[in-house]
A = this chain, B = another copy of it.
Amino acid sequence: MKTDELAELGQQLRVDSVRASAAAGSGHPTSSMSAADLLAVLLANHLCYDFERPEHPANDRFVLSKGHASPLLYAAYKACGAIEDGELVTFRKLGSRLEGHPTPRRLPWVETATGSLGQGLPVGVGIALAGKRLDRAGYRVWVLCGDSELAEGSVWEAAEHAGHENLDNLIVIADVNRLGQRGPTRHGHHLDAYARRFQAFDWHTIEIDGHDVDAIDRAYGEALSTTGQPTVILARTLKGKGVASVQDREGLHGKPLPEAEEAIAELGGPRRLHVRVSEPPAAAALRSLTTEVLQLPRYDQGDEAATRDAFGKALAALGTARGDVVALDGEVGDSTRTEEFAKAHPDRFFECYIAEQQLVAAAVGMATRGWVPYASTFAAFLTRAHDFVRMASISGSGINLVGSHAGVAIGQDGPSQMGLEDLAMFRSVYGSTVLYPCDANQTARLVAAMAGLDGIRYLRTSRGKTPVIYGPEEEFPVGGSKTLRSGEDDRLTVVAAGVTVHEALAAADRLAEDGIGVRVIDLYSVKPVDAETLRRAAEETGCLLTVEDHRPEGGLGDAVAEAFGDGRPVPRLVRLGVRTMPGSAAPDEQLHAAGIDAAGIAAAAKLLVEEAVVR
């Protein structure tokens, strides 16, 4: 398209953004209008994309990081023929695919859910990494950012990562409209402020007038021909561009235009331009991936091994069996043991350094391209990426997250390094799976099983060695549990997972010496939870005692309580967990101080059993 047509297309996108928001009675038309010319030129002259085949391996990828500008995105879909005008005006209505912020759950052309600012670029970096190092395809990743969101640290984690990895297949378009939600941004229209920052992180930068379609066109061309580094196009734009009553004015963020009809007239009225987006190159080779029989590591019962070690070895084995498995780590691979994978499959290992948001975002990006990522750091530090996990669940992203160094059992390093809130965080995530193994063979099986699940899959591993109590052939269905001790005269059930399984077994042995029969359940699947076994144990023993190396809120205890959430009477349910702020101490001292070692469990069990007698 030429200048005039491009400008017309920009106006059409504005008009349709105004119309969609007016129909909805809410939305962000002014944020859409600033970026309309940027998107018009991209669609008409540079993007390679087949809307009928969004899964096409050679398609370019487009991420609307400023997800609130969804009217613009949907107006673009309409211009490209992907949706009809009738659907456009269902925007933000119950049942519509056109949500306030775009999600891939509903729209096949959306790569990742946005709406939490500063996430589109990090995910885009993940896609671009996949393009360069995994798919080895020529597609480009285009990310349209707002200027407000450039204040997010995650943007600079991503900028650092992209610069360091020479991602010249990544192009950021920054819509610098100088106005955030509440008012002016830090840097206003000073494009040079942003340029200096991106240049410092080794990006190529281009500064343009974001409403000059020829300048935009040239900038895209320059970006496409830039090699060895990513490009950011810093575009000076006006929020609400084209309608005098709202243009460049404060206080109009996230509001439909007050006089929509007049605004549409001022923009020249509706148009019916259709954009023929370039098709992707036909010759994109299909991936041919290894598939071998999975040979998980095997451990002998009675030996000792840390579950983090078993994770590392199992992941390396899984990588051998499945060519689609990739691993990422936050610069602690020697602790999480992803170093095993890195040694075995260096081409599929991604070092993300100490940047946990980028770590998770890269996994999300790779998953959009069909890869099966395992991203790992200390369980405690995954809290850094909570918002990314939350958004990944909105995307319906299938990623594996593995947190090591769970709980007080890590010992001397102290509370900053202890994962004590991770179960609560991951349980609350929509559609998640939460696994917490206690031995090496169990870990290996779960590492393999999680690859095939939907949604966010979380595995919690431990630092120290634990006894191998299961044989290598034992199976551990997700949603199951293992009853490790059981007798006809059990008077109480101890429900444990991870390190506390071994403490529970020791406690059961002690109690047996005192003639007290106790059932022990290994609840390795914290979500989904094995409600049937828990209910039977409750009926048969009358009392459940949960023991977890985690805060008492949101973890194992709550998971067990949830199993009785269908209205049936609940048995006595007592929970042991970490109720104090630990300091430094040896692992066994930590477990003892928290009251979750064998002695603490036995004491609590005795008290409960004796109480039951009194009652």
Contact A182 B92 (CB under 8 A): no
Contact A26 B412 (CB under 8 A): yes
The segment out of A427-435, A475-483, A495-503 that lies at the interface is A427-435
Q: How many residues of A contact B (CB 8 A)?
A: 121
Residues of B within 8 A of A95 (CB): 583, 585
Query: Nearest 10 CB-CB pairs, A to B?
Result: A153-B153, A115-B416, A570-B570, A424-B428, A200-B200, A156-B156, A94-B585, A554-B554, A153-B157, A561-B561
Contact A116 B381 (CB under 8 A): yes
Contact B570 A386 (CB under 8 A): no
Residues of B within 8 A of A85 (CB): none
The CA-CA distance from A27 to B555 in the complex, in Å, is 30
The CA-CA distance from A573 to B551 in the complex, in Å, is 22
Q: Given A151-B157, A157-B152, answer yes or no on A339-B553 (Cβ-Cβ < 8 Å).
A: no
Residues of B within 8 A of A381 (CB): 116, 387
A: which residues have CB within 8 A of B? 24, 26-27, 67, 91-96, 98-101, 103, 105-106, 113-118, 148-149, 151-157, 160, 164, 180-182, 185-186, 196-197, 199-201, 251, 253, 329, 331-335, 339, 351, 353-358, 380-381, 383-384, 386-387, 390-391, 393-394, 396, 411-417, 420-421, 424-425, 427-431, 527, 543, 551-555, 557-559, 561-562, 564-575, 581, 583-586, 589, 593, 607-608, 611
Residues of B within 8 A of A201 (CB): 197
The CA-CA distance from A255 to B373 in the complex, in Å, is 30
Nearest CB in chain B to that of A358: its residue: B153
Contact A153 B151 (CB under 8 A): no
8 contacts between A and B (CB under 8 A): A103-B415, A103-B583, A115-B414, A181-B331, A199-B200, A424-B425, A428-B553, A565-B574
- CB contact between A155 and one of B153, B411, B527, B607 (< 8 Å): that residue: B153
Contact A569 B566 (CB under 8 A): no
The CA-CA distance from A111 to B164 in the complex, in Å, is 34
Q: Given A96-B584, A551-B428, answer yes or no on A113-B416 (Cβ-Cβ < 8 Å).
A: yes
Q: Given A196-B200, A357-B153, A558-B553, answer yes or no on A332-B583 (Cβ-Cβ < 8 Å).
A: no
Q: Given A416-B391, A571-B570, answer yes or no on A332-B181 (Cβ-Cβ < 8 Å).
A: yes
With both chains docked as a complex, state the minimum distance between the C-beta of A291 and any C-beta of chain B, in angstroms.
30
The CA-CA distance from A91 to B585 in the complex, in Å, is 10
Residues of B within 8 A of A251 (CB): 334
Contact B565 A575 (CB under 8 A): yes
Which of A113, A117, A153, A611 has most chain B Cβ within 10 Å? A153
With both chains docked as a complex, state the minimum distance between the C-beta of A194 and any C-beta of chain B, in angstroms.
9
Residues of B within 8 A of A117 (CB): 354
Residues of B within 8 A of A412 (CB): 24, 26-27, 92, 100
Residues of B within 8 A of A156 (CB): 153, 156-157
Residues of B within 8 A of A428 (CB): 420-421, 424-425, 551, 553-555
Residues of B within 8 A of A394 (CB): 415-416, 581
